[in-house]
Structure 1
């Protein structure tokens, strides 16, 4: 779970980093990887990563950190999703905010 989340997080960050060419400004729709399913692919990956960490550690502090991460990152994913839908007319209509195929 941790490794899958870490991989999704790193891949998503790479996609976001490479959205613009040098000198370009403005926002673009991220595509590829988990971004084909959700707007907050990097947020999903990080959340999954910390949930995996909590499972591996199996203690209260790790669980608390995972839950707090979800509480902070989850709303950011929904905010980004709403922003993208408002800004881009051609935003993929089936793309969810945070959890593939669900939410």
Structure 2
């Protein structure tokens, strides 16, 4: 939950009021993945599924990953297209892997 909240705070703080330009998020998990907020959400729901240990919670965590994962990849691809100086070491969703 902390990853998710911190990542959302970073994203909300990127632009000043009235500003419309895109910026590269940095700090926290954004140093490792483009979709740090998505990563935090998936980790959060997977943790809940493990804590509850029931089929519906595992299904919810799985389908959350299936719906958010492609969005993270899309954001990653868009960042690389928009910013020439975007860090190439960042992955889309899973640090050091994907």
Task: Report the TM range for the smaller structure's normalisation.
Answer: over 0.9
Per-residue CA deviation, residues 35-72 of structure 1 (Å, 9 max, x unaligned), is: 00000000000000000000000000000000000000
TM-score, with structure 2 as normaliser: 0.98
- Which consecutive aligned stretches of 4+ in structure 1 deviate over 3 angstroms post-superposition? none
Cα distance in structure 1, aligned partners of 2:42 and 2:22: 24
State the number of aligned residues. 98
The residue that corresponds to 1:36 in the other structure is 31
State how 1:39-78 maps to structure 2 within 5 Å: 39-78=34-73
Unmatched runs of 5 consecutive residues or more in structure 1:
1-5
1:93 to 83, 88, 92: 88
Unmatched runs of 5 consecutive residues or more in structure 2:
none
1:9 to 4, 8, 11: 4
